[in-house]
Amino acid sequence: MVMKRLYFTLSNPESCKNVVAALRSAGIPERRLHAVASLAVPIEDVPGASLLQTSELAHGIERGLAMGGTAGLLGGMLAVAFPPPGVVGAAAWVAPVAVGGAALGALALGLISKDIHNKELAAFERDIAHGRILLMVDVPKEEVEQWKQLVVEHHPEAKISVAAPPAT
């Protein structure tokens, strides 16, 4: 199922709670709701965003898997092409070295990327700094208009954006 992420910028915590309640009662599961606010804005009873939503962690792990796996595969293939003296059966090491490289790459880039702010949220930093609340909702692509309409009916002041959520 292809998902899209809806971004709703809401003016106050009460408005956010109302939107979250409406979305929950309409069938959006808790795991698809993520709120971001400044530290000065209390957002109790609203699911907060985790590192997966607020950082580049997922992208870093993806890149680390690809780069580490490629490096491990190339290293294993070099060991087969130019085996060190006395090593027999170097071909059996290609897959484990590639998997190890992928794991090491994912770990390294994941640790680095967890401290990098999500680029998708940069457009909302000014609103968040001025006390507004960003609510992210992951919905199936074909239901985007339905969910946008539901929120606009109850909260016409909400600013709405749509994007693809990061892979998790």
pLDDT, position 167: 57
Note the residue count of the chain.
168
SS3 122: helix
- What CATH number did the domain enclosing 31 receive? 3.30.70.120
How many domains are there within the chain?
2
Of 42, 9, 15, 45, the C-alpha closest to 137 is 9
pLDDT tens by residue, 52-61? 888 889 889 9
SS3 107: helix
Residues 104 and 26 in one domain: no
Q: Examine residue 101 and state whether it is found in any structural domain, yes or no.
A: yes
Q: Examine residue 168 and state whether it is found in any structural domain, yes or no.
A: no
User: Which residues constitute the domain of residue 17?
Assistant: 3-50+118-163
* Rounded Cα distance, 36 and 87, in Å: 55
Q: Examine residue 140 and state whether it is found in any structural domain, yes or no.
A: yes
Residues 29 and 62 in one domain: no
Rg of the chain (C-alpha set) = 22
- Given a contact cutoff of 8 angstroms between Cβ atoms, the answer to whether 133 and 36 are in contact is yes
pLDDT tens by residue, 68-111? 999 999 998 988 888 878 777 778 888 999 999 999 999 999 99
